[in-house]
Structure 1
Amino acid sequence: MNTEHNKGYNAFKISENWEKQSQQLKKQFSQLKDSDLVLDKGKEDELLERIGNKLSKNREEVIKILNDTQFS
């Protein structure tokens, strides 16, 4: 496993109140639907990929968006 490649991903943590955060994301990005924001335990990478695909963003951009909505 290439640990250098994965180092930047440690900055991302799902909010404890994901339901509230996902509602904020839906308001901010109308193209996101409930099904895009389903968070299954242990499948955070899939969530990031779904959001990235819908928003045409890379992983780092999605993490920044999620981190920004956590603190707004």
Structure 2
Amino acid sequence: METNDNNNHAFKILKNWSEHSKQLKEKYSTLTDHDLKLEEGKEKETLERIGNRLRKNREEVLDILKEINLS
């Protein structure tokens, strides 16, 4: 699944989202299951919920997700 921002940069949502969302919850205790709920075609909304909860902009959320993906 991919989501595009206004600059046409694609970010691929992690295939093993369940495992990565657990890592995010461990790292950021303020995140809830609702924040991390991922539905096909609604990736942008998931990124927005995470950003709102963490008080981060979209690019910062993408950086966090990329970091999780690399670990």
Letter in 1 for 2:59: E
The TM-score normalised by the length of structure 1 is 0.87
Per residue, is there more helix in 1 or in 2? 1
Alignment match, 1:23? 22
User: What is the aligned length?
Assistant: 67
Higher-Rg member (1/2): 1
User: How far apart are the structure 2 equivalents of 1:48 and 1:60?
Assistant: 10
Q: Distance in 2 between matches of 1:6 and 1:49?
A: 14
Question: Equivalent residue for 1:67?
Answer: 66
Q: Which runs of 5+ in 1 are unaligned?
A: none
State the distance in 2 between where 1:32 and 1:56 align. Answer: 11
C-alpha separation in 2, matches of 1:58 and 1:18 = 20
Q: CA deviation at 1:71?
A: 1.1
Question: 2:46 is matched with which residue?
Answer: 47
Q: Which has the higher strand share?
A: 2
TM-score by length of 2: 0.88
Displacement of 1:7 after TM fit? 2.2
In structure 2, list runs of 5 or more residues that go unmatched: none
Cα root mean square deviation, aligned: 1.2
Q: After TM superposition, which residue ranges in structure 1, 4 or more long, deviate above 3 angstroms?
A: none
Q: Which residue of 1 aligns with 2:7?
A: 7
The percent of aligned pairs where both chains have the same amino acid is: 54
